[in-house]
Amino acid sequence: MDVKRDRPVVPASVSDGPTGDGLVAGARSIAKGFAYTARAGVSKPLTVRYPKEKLTVSPRWRGPLALRGVLGRDEIPLLRAPSYAYNETIDGLYRADRLPPCVGSCPANVDARGQAYLIADDRVVEAYELVRDRNILPGVLGRICHHPCESACKRNFFDEPIAIRPLHRFAFEEYRKVRHERISPFPRTQGKSVCIVGSGPSGLAAAYDLLKLGYRVVMYERERKPGGALNTGVPAYRLPREVLYEEIDDIVGLGLELNTGVEVGKDVTLPSLMREHDAVLLAVGLQQSRILPIPGTDAEGVVGALEFLWSANFKHEAGVRGKRVLVIGGGNVAVDVARCALRVGASEVRLACLESESEMPCHPWEIAEALDEGVIAMCSLGPEEVLTKHDTVVGMRMRSCLSVFDEMGRFAPKFGDETTDVPTDVVVFAIGQAPKIDTIVAGTELLVSGRGQLVVDGTLFTTSVPGVFACGEIVTGPGSAIGSIATGHEAAVSIHRYLQGLPLDGDRVARPVPVYQKHAPADTRGIESNRRRAVMPMADPEERAKDFRQVELGLTRQEATAEAMRCLRCESEVCVGCTFCARTCPDYAIKVERVDEAGARCLTRYDLDLTKCCFCGLCAEQCPTKALHHTGQYELSFWHRDLMVFDKGEMLRPPTGTRATGRDGISPPGCPVPRREDG
């Protein structure tokens, strides 16, 4: 703390000045004053000799506003790149701070912005195909995705997020009508073949990428129908199976050789596949439910979630008709199980979880829908013992849970003393899934950890055997469909590099998932109806709980177009006329008008009245697209006040000059010109 010791100490009273009174002290002080000014007089002046020299102006300098581009003149860039370069593209945008939050927060970086742009432009099929590049099953994910994109959507800040997921679904519905015309096999240019074990979302994503790159891709699926967990695990009320099959059909149409009903390890062996193909990708997912090691779990009436869902989905019968069901777990699977149980005729469904209501790991909208349908949630309860009678479940003893996570945020539940007995007939454990790969890896040198997990590099997706790769939940653990798809894409890149003889890591980018600002639900009072989010029509809760019909009914074309137009096209640097600059401006200096019609959307007017602007920077700060920005200009002299109103054309000129005097013969070219009266 040397600095502090050097610091002058505040006197008890400042009244005793630095010098005393009296003639001598006074004369001395005056002499010191002369010395001080003399020293100043001979020292170098501080002046910056404008205009010859100029101060460097801060990069944040809030100069006058300009636009980088406007809708109708400039296109929104679509995030399209070959899969092996896609991450670099995203990374470049991320570094330049130009990554839209929806794209950045999506594990697979699906270009939701481009989708909205194309749908609003009435190019729905193109939008579908754009999405499919990164999200192999848009129609499926459009129904079941947990849409992190919508949570990050910048529109959250302004009012309500864009309905990205329903737009996927809408795009698929439109695409469906023309899908047969749009599908033709990718040419096989590489002459090498890849085998993919498992037809879940991650396997399909890898298959799509590899097919696109020109490889021969052979896929094996144990079940009779493809789709992996999407096929077996997701309840039909959320995902009609024909959607899934249709989309997989498309991929088959692109050249995928799909073999269903073939179980690797039984019907064919992995070593033989490894011999047969140049590379093998294991995308087998998690196949068995975890069950807690507590007393009574071997009794009749205790089932795992996967088994339960499988039978509910395929048989529409899980042996719970008229029985009381207790679902253990608070995740999305648990909610799925609970809702399925209602649909297969359970008389009462309870959901017990460790976490409190606000901490439940499932998505809030899921639990809300489940509660609507009559599921009873019991929070902060930990399973202690399954009560049995004659080896049959009669109830469950639960212990109250005080806290689930410790201070560091790790899972370390603390239990209280109270216990409750919940009478029930069936207990479904939905507390997670585990891999089951011992039969698959038999006969290979693949390393398997003690807990039965395959040893996989988390970023390159290589296993201990060259040429064998893995992706999907087998790598990441239980997760979302879109997360699995993301790993599939990455694994495909690895395989491609492996087959091309390139170093696997090389310059591949492992980008941190950006954290975006969370926003509380905005106050929507007083805002215009066309700014509101399209409401997804839902089936009536009373009705829908009875069968496996879809709950969400989908958007109409009109709704979808309007919704796509709400998209702010974040970070595109093209003004979309969202009017939030005009709405935020404390001086009301900006006037924006635009035409909002599919196919004919453009800004008709963008006026900036520089006479009113207070250079506060709120508009540019809030501009979602960063089209509106401050120029570093600061010389803003005008001979006339009229020169100070800039229209769209003037604002688009690059600020090459430093002066905005208008057309006075002095200004450099590119400076704003006098405003032309409209008409």
Partner 1 sequence: MAAIDELAEFLERTPGGGILLTTVDAVMNWARGKSLWTFPMGTACCAMEFIAASFSRFDFDRHGTIPRPDPRHCDVMVVAGTVTRKMMPAVKRIYDQMPEPKWVVAMGNCAVSGGIFYYDTYSVVRGVDEFLPVDVYIAGCPPRPEALQDAILQLRKKIATESISKRRTRPLVSDLALPTDPRKGDLLSAADADEEDEAPATRSVSA
Partner 2 sequence: MVTEELTLNIGPSHPSTHGVCRLLVRLDGEIVTHVEPIIGHLHRGIEKMAENRTYLQVVPLTDRLDYVGSMYANWAYCRAVERLAGIRVPERAEYIRVIVCELQRIASHMMGIGSSAADTGATSAFLYAFAQRDLVIDLFEELCGARLTYNYVRPGGVSFDLPDGWVERCRAFTAQHPKAMLEIDGFFFGNAIARARLKGVGVLDPDAAVAWGVSGPSARGSGVDWDLRRDDPYSVYPRFDFDVPIGSNGDAFDRARVRLWECIESCRIIDQALDQLEPGPIMADGLPRLLAPRPGDAYDHIESARGSLGVYLVSDGSPRPYRMKVRSPAFCNLAVLPLIAVGHTLSDLLVILGSLDPVFGEVDR
Partner 3 sequence: MRIEELRERVCAMYPDLCPLFSIEFGDGAISVPLERVHSAAADLKEMGFDRLGMVTAVDRGEEFEIVYRLQSRDLRAGMFLKALVPRSDPRVPSMCDLWPAANWQEREVYDLFGIVFEGHPDLRRILLPDDWEGHPLRKDYVDERIIPRPDYI
Closer CB to partner 3, 363 or 583, in the complex: 583
Tell whether residue 622 is a contact of partner 2 (CB under 8 A): yes
CA–CA gap between residue 478 and residue 305 (Å, rounded): 13
Give me the least distance between CB of 32 and partner 2, in Å please.
6
426 binds, among partner 2, partner 1, partner 3, none (CB under 5 to 8 A by kind): none
158 binds, among partner 1, partner 3, partner 2, none (CB under 5 to 8 A by kind): partner 2
Radius of gyration, CA atoms only, the chain: 32
Tell whether residue 524 is a contact of partner 3 (CB under 8 A): no
| DSSP string for 648-663 | HHHHHS---SSB---T
Cβ–Cβ < 8 Å for 201, 488: yes
CA–CA gap between residue 641 and residue 644 (Å, rounded): 5
CA–CA gap between residue 128 and residue 182 (Å, rounded): 11
Among 540, 639, 668, 679, binds partner 1 (CB under 8 A): 639
Tell whether residue 411 is a contact of partner 1 (CB under 8 A): no
19 binds, among partner 3, partner 1, partner 2, none (CB under 5 to 8 A by kind): partner 2
Picking from 452, 455, 449, 447, the residue whose alpha carbon sits closest to that of residue 435 is: 452
CA–CA distances in Å: residue 477 to residues 284, 457, 473, 484, 641: 12, 13, 5, 10, 65
Tell whether residue 583 is a contact of partner 3 (CB under 8 A): yes
Q: What is the biggest distance separating any 2 CA atoms in the chain, rounded to whole angstroms?
A: 112
Closer CB to partner 3, 2 or 528, in the complex: 528
Q: Is 392 helix (H, G, I), strand (E, B) or coil?
A: strand
Cβ–Cβ < 8 Å for 565, 577: no
Picking from 618, 588, 625, the residue whose alpha carbon sits closest to that of residue 603 is: 625
Closer CB to partner 2, 17 or 423, in the complex: 17
Strand partners, 411: 405
Q: Which stretch binds partner 3 (CB under 8 A): 55-63, 224-232, 392-400, 579-587?
A: 579-587
638 binds, among partner 2, partner 3, partner 1, none (CB under 5 to 8 A by kind): partner 1
637 binds, among partner 1, partner 3, partner 2, none (CB under 5 to 8 A by kind): partner 1
Tell whether residue 526 is a contact of partner 3 (CB under 8 A): yes
Closer CB to partner 1, 54 or 180, in the complex: 54
Provide the residue count of the chain.
679
582 binds, among partner 2, partner 3, partner 1, none (CB under 5 to 8 A by kind): partner 3
Q: Which stretch binds partner 2 (CB under 8 A): 27-35, 201-209, 266-274, 293-301?
A: 27-35
Cβ neighbors of 7 (< 8 A, separation 6 or more) are: none
Torsion sign, CA atoms 125, 131, 132, 138: negative
Tell how far CA 438 is from the center of its chain: 34
Cβ–Cβ < 8 Å for 144, 234: yes
CA–CA gap between residue 672 and residue 650 (Å, rounded): 5
In the complex, the residues that contact partner 3 under the rule CB under 8 A are 526-528, 579, 582-583, 588
In the complex, the residues that contact partner 2 under the rule CB under 8 A are 3-4, 7-11, 13-15, 17-19, 21, 25-27, 29-30, 32-33, 36-37, 40, 46, 57-58, 60-62, 156-159, 517-523, 525-526, 580, 584-586, 614-618, 621-622, 630
In the complex, the residues that contact partner 1 under the rule CB under 8 A are 45-51, 54-55, 57, 64, 586-588, 609-616, 634-642, 644, 659-666, 673-677
